[in-house]
Amino acid sequence: MLPTPLNETVLSRGLLDVLIRAGLIAILVISCFNIFHPFLDLMLWSVILAITLYPLHGLLKNKLGNSDARAASLIVLIGISILLVPVYLMGTSMAESIQQSIEVVKSGTFHIPPPADSVAAWPVIGKTLHGFWLQAATDLTGLLQTVAPHLKGPSLSLLGKLAGAGVGLLMFVFALVIAGVVMAYGEKGSRSAVLIASRVSGPQKGAEIAELCTATIRAVAQGVVGIAFIQMLIVGAGFVVMGIPGAGLLALAVLLLGIMQLPATLITIPVIGFVFATEGATAATIAFAIYTFVGGMVDNVLKPLLLARGVAVPMPVILIGALGGMVTSGIIGLFIGPVMLAVGYQLFWQWVNDQPAAAAVADQPATPSQG
């Protein structure tokens, strides 16, 4: 039966109402996102830190009179101290070094020895390096005036990077404070996460998806940050025992490389070369070289053991998610990437295993009829 004009009018009005409502909802969502977008990274870091530190919050809560606020406040204070004390010591050391360098230059006692004639015989760079070194030894002021215009761009870029690092550190401190507030309301947050996941993926899978996201973030924190910290302690101890100049800064560089998923051998191999060049091949330097090289490779052994620990997802999925997230979104992608990939992996296999009833019946072997 053909629809009457009245029915067509009703359908048109219904469709128009749906389109208007969808448009208004889209405008509301876009507006909310634009307002919240400047704080997106801050809130993501806060949630990641809160999920990572919440087991420690539970341990401290039982020892502090079952108070969520006290436990969260203590974790925040300890975290800020761990962050700011090394930064303060590093800044003080750098300021003293710069001041001493300026005083040495002003006093006129600074002198660069002339290069050996054998330097000019080095392949590719020998003649250029010999001329540059000789000019620095004979006319350092003229060399600095010549080089200064070329150093302006890299110097400004370096200052910009340092400023960005300072802003990132401040954002991390604010994220830690917000994470303390989130941990103080951890139980309500956990229930809210389960409700949201249940609304998105269904009541049967909501709790499972929320638990998967939580376990993945904690596994990445242990498998990336934890391993980088262990590697820093191992390699840094060797640097300190061997008396390497700037051992603390080099150990910090090992930590940063580990977090960025770059090999620690970028630091350990040049240090080994420096030790052999300055002290020669002795029993102590050979033992140091073996220890440092193995310490720089220890992450290859620990990652398979810790990265996917407690997560119902294969380790390669977590590792690929961490590396891909790091490439696309920076440090925060280390956590977001594995979570997204792990949830997608779980949902994909749930869809694969959720076969239609007709296909399941067709796959069953036929039974002989009774008669």
Write the DSSP string, 167-213: HHHHHHHHHHHHHHHHHHTHHHHHHHHHHHHHHHH-TTTHHHHHHHH
Which residue, among 213, 155, 237, has the nearest Cα to 342 in the 3D structure? 213
Which residue, among 44, 54, 51, has the nearest Cα to 75 in the 3D structure? 54
Rounded CA-CA distance 306/308 in Å is 6
User: Which pLDDT score is estimated for 329?
Assistant: 75
Rounded CA-CA distance 302/288 in Å is 21
First-to-last CA distance in the chain? 48
User: Using CA atoms in the order 192, 70, 223, 219, what is the torsion angle rounded to 10 degrees?
Assistant: -20
Distance of CA 227 to the CA centre of its chain: 12
Backbone dihedral region of 115: left (phi > 0), alpha (psi from -120 to 50 degrees) or beta?
beta
Q: Which two tokens stand for residue 228?
A: 């980088």
Rounded CA-CA distance 80/226 in Å is 18
Rounded CA-CA distance 190/235 in Å is 38
Residues in contact with 16: Cβ distance below 8 Å, sequence separation at least 6, in sequence order: none
Rounded CA-CA distance 48/179 in Å is 8
User: Which pLDDT score is estimated for 264?
Assistant: 84
Report the chain (371 residues): mean pLDDT per 10 consecutive residues. Answer: 60 81 93 91 85 85 82 88 72 69 66 73 77 74 69 69 67 86 84 83 79 81 79 86 79 79 84 82 86 85 70 76 79 78 81 64 48 39
Which residue, among 276, 280, 282, 285, has the nearest Cα to 242 in the 3D structure? 285
Count Cα neighbours of 92 within 13 Å in the Cβ-side half-sphere: 6
Count Cα neighbours of 271 within 13 Å in the Cβ-side half-sphere: 29
User: Which pLDDT score is estimated for 69?
Assistant: 84
User: Which pLDDT score is estimated for 338?
Assistant: 82
User: Which pLDDT score is estimated for 354?
Assistant: 72
User: Which pLDDT score is estimated for 144?
Assistant: 67
Q: Report the residue count for the chain.
A: 371
Q: Is 165 helix (H, G, I), strand (E, B) or coil?
A: helix
User: Which pLDDT score is estimated for 371?
Assistant: 39
Q: How far is CA 369 from CA 190, 246, 362, 366, in A?
A: 53, 84, 16, 9
User: Which pLDDT score is estimated for 358?
Assistant: 47
Backbone φ, ψ for residue 215 (5° rounding): -65, -35
